Structure 1
């Protein structure tokens, strides 16, 4: 059961990371396009700024699950190092519980915010509803919840490896 869940997490985290990287590439490409249209052609494209913001929001919320999975999101290094080995697993459980509670709140309120914002349109890109920007919060929270549980089941301490 544990291995199946970890396999699911690897798959979902991989998808989330690929999409986050894609959103970064989209934002970068649109930024270059915006610079060219604004400063070279002197005809700014208003919609590109909106899409840059949109893609950066998605990039952040799709990148968060990998940070949780690697154990780099909620950093309690000093406390973890100072604790006896018997208490480290309790600290892991408390950190995972706090992160899960936070992500459940983000999931709940993010979905509510997306639904309420569905009547709004994006300034400069009126054909798209704000729902598509706001839904990044609950989507990212679902991926993050999977990453938090996976990190509790199979801890990775990536931030400890790079600490001096």
Structure 2
């Protein structure tokens, strides 16, 4: 069961990271187009700013699961290193439970917020609901659940590598 969960977690974490990378590429492309349109074509394109903001929001929330998975999200490195071996697992469990609670809160409150924002339209893209921007919060929280449990089941300590 553990191996099966870690396989699913790895697939979901890679998928969310790939989506986050695509959102970053989209934001960069839209930003480039916006500069090109404004200064070369001398046209304003307010929709590119809105879509860039949306893609950056999605990029952040879809990148969080990978940060959890490599141990770079909540760094209690000093406490972990100074703790005896038996305390390390307890510390990891407490951190995992706190992160799970936060992710569940993100899912519940984020979904409520997205539902409330479904009637709000976006300036610059009047036909698009804010629901799609707010939906990044519960979706990111959902994917984070897998990364947190995966990190707890099979700890990977690359927080210093990921910070560089």
Answer yes or no: same fold by TM over 0.5: yes
Computed over aligned residues only, the root mean square deviation of the Cα atoms, in angstroms, reads: 1.4
- Other-structure match for 1:115: 115
- Runs of 4+ with deviation above 3 angstroms: 160-164
Q: CA deviation at 1:55?
A: 0.3
Measured in 1, the distance between the counterparts of 2:47 and 2:162 equals 40
Contact kept, 8 Å, 1:77 with 1:160, in 2: the verdict is: no
Instruction: Measure the CA separation in 2 of the matches of 1:81 and 1:21.
Output: 32
Aligned residue runs from structure 1 range 1-164, under 5 A:
1-160=1-160
Distance 2:35 2:68 in 1: 34
- Give the superposition deviation at 1:35: 0.2
Distance 1:163 1:65 in 2: 16
Shift of 1:160: 4.5
Unaligned runs of 5+ in 1: none
TM-score, normalising length: structure 2: 0.97
Aligned residues: 164
- Structure 2 residue ranges without an equivalent (≥5): none
